[in-house]
Amino acid sequence: MNKKDNITVSEVISNKDFKDFYNVSFKIYKEDENWVPPFWNEYKAFFKKNNPFWSHGKYKLFTVSKKEKIVGRIAAIIDYKYCEMVGKKIGFFGFFECINDYNYAEILLNSAQNWLSLKDMSVMRGPINGRVDIGCGFLETGFGSPPCFFSSYSPPYYLQFAEKFNMKKARDQLLYYIDLTKPIPKRLLEKANKSAESGIKIRKFNRFRTKKELKWWIDLFLETFSEHWGYIHASREEVRTRFGIKQLRWFVDKDLFLIAEYEGSPVAYIWSTPDYNQIFKKFNGRLGPFQFLQYLLLKRQINIGKLPIIGIKKEFRNQNIASYLNYLTLIEMKKRGYIGAEVGWFDEGNSSAKATIAITGAKLYKKFRVFDKKIDNIR
């Protein structure tokens, strides 16, 4: 604990400290109608020692207080597998939230930077919440609308914090939007037809055989994302802890999880969802029987779709399979009366993904920026 001018910086040690750490975001966004509260159960699960991620990582959590009232938080995180993959000692900061006062933001960023320096890291990168698939980047463009499912969210002044802290752009992540009130582009239909004529068959995910489906899906997930910026090779068990995979049978929308097969074998998939955030926003971070009942009553009111993940085996790329999957997904969403769909995010360097999405008529509408800062070793 460090005190100066009624400012207190504390490490998160106890269960109460951790609950306070979680609750910071509720204070930051209490007047923000677009914010969607994170689930308490997800936070607890990620930071538990038995999370496979921590077999190759470590973290330290900090909060900052003004006159004994917590006004900000930050996590300093090291993923040693990531460092090994990139060949550099890069640590992350993440789970960042702070009131609109740079004095407190600077204290938090310095706390994370100093801890990473003590662990011999040479660069601090972020915001990355441990893994890029959990959440990364400060929102740079596209303010004024709520985040869709699987999307991050942050206020404009966080960008100013990063710049004042002398952080430089590392990468931008891109989100696209498809206006489903407009006709589906003919070019997308043409490419879908070509894929169908080549022998590709499309089926739905079988949630009653989830274990069997996961045997091929996890391997394909690891293969298709191995080249994406920020991703590292992970064990099958670690993948199972992502996205609520263990609960997949219970919440997957089978009409939006499509699998492309060639001669009876899976070669590609698209995992799309309704924008559950339209409902989750009402849960206030809680999950229980009452929230489940709310979900059942309100799910038909969802009018936005989300296309977060698509994967294709290398030898089957550039064969219009992605367009086939996208076309059938958009047809299903239009049947439901969805007015639009969010796509991504995608790394700014992923030219093939951007070209594929352009065929759907999607337009870029949000950017998230990840920053780097070189660390001076303080030992």
Q: Please give the structure tokens belonging to residue 250.
A: 């219970």
pLDDT digits (tens, 9 = 90+) for 41-97: 888 989 999 888 999 999 999 999 998 899 999 999 999 999 998 899 999 999 999
Q: Are 199 and 262 in contact (CB under 8 A)?
A: yes
Mean pLDDT of 368-375: 96
pLDDT exceeds 70 at position 244: no
Same domain (yes/no): 121, 192: no
Same domain as 314, residue 260: yes
- Residues 330 and 343 sit within 8 Å (Cβ to Cβ): no
Mean pLDDT calculated for residue range 188-212:
90
State residue 241's pLDDT score.
63
Domain residues for the domain of 320 are 179-368
Contact 226, 204 (CB under 8 A): no
Give whole-number Cα distances, 356 to 160, 263, 325, 360, in Å: 33, 24, 11, 7
Residues 306 and 361 in one domain: yes
- Is the pTM of the predicted complex or chain greater than 0.85? yes
| Interatomic CA distance for residues 73 and 63, integer angstroms | 4
Mean pLDDT of 181-198: 96
pLDDT for position 208:
75
The sign one gets for the Cα dihedral 316, 359, 366, 276 is: negative
Which amino acid type is present at position 82?
A: Y
Domain CATH code at residue 362 = 3.40.630.30
Q: Model confidence at 6, in pLDDT bands (50, 70, 90)?
A: confident
In the predicted model, what is the mean pLDDT of the chain? 90
* DSSP category for residue 97: E
Residue 191 and residue 82 in one domain: no
User: Taking the CB of residue 214, how many other CB atoms lie within 10 A of it?
Assistant: 18
Q: Would 195 be classed as within a structural domain? A: yes
For the stretch 7-22, pLDDT in tens is 899 999 999 999 999 9
Indicate if 183 and 202 belong to the same structural domain.
yes
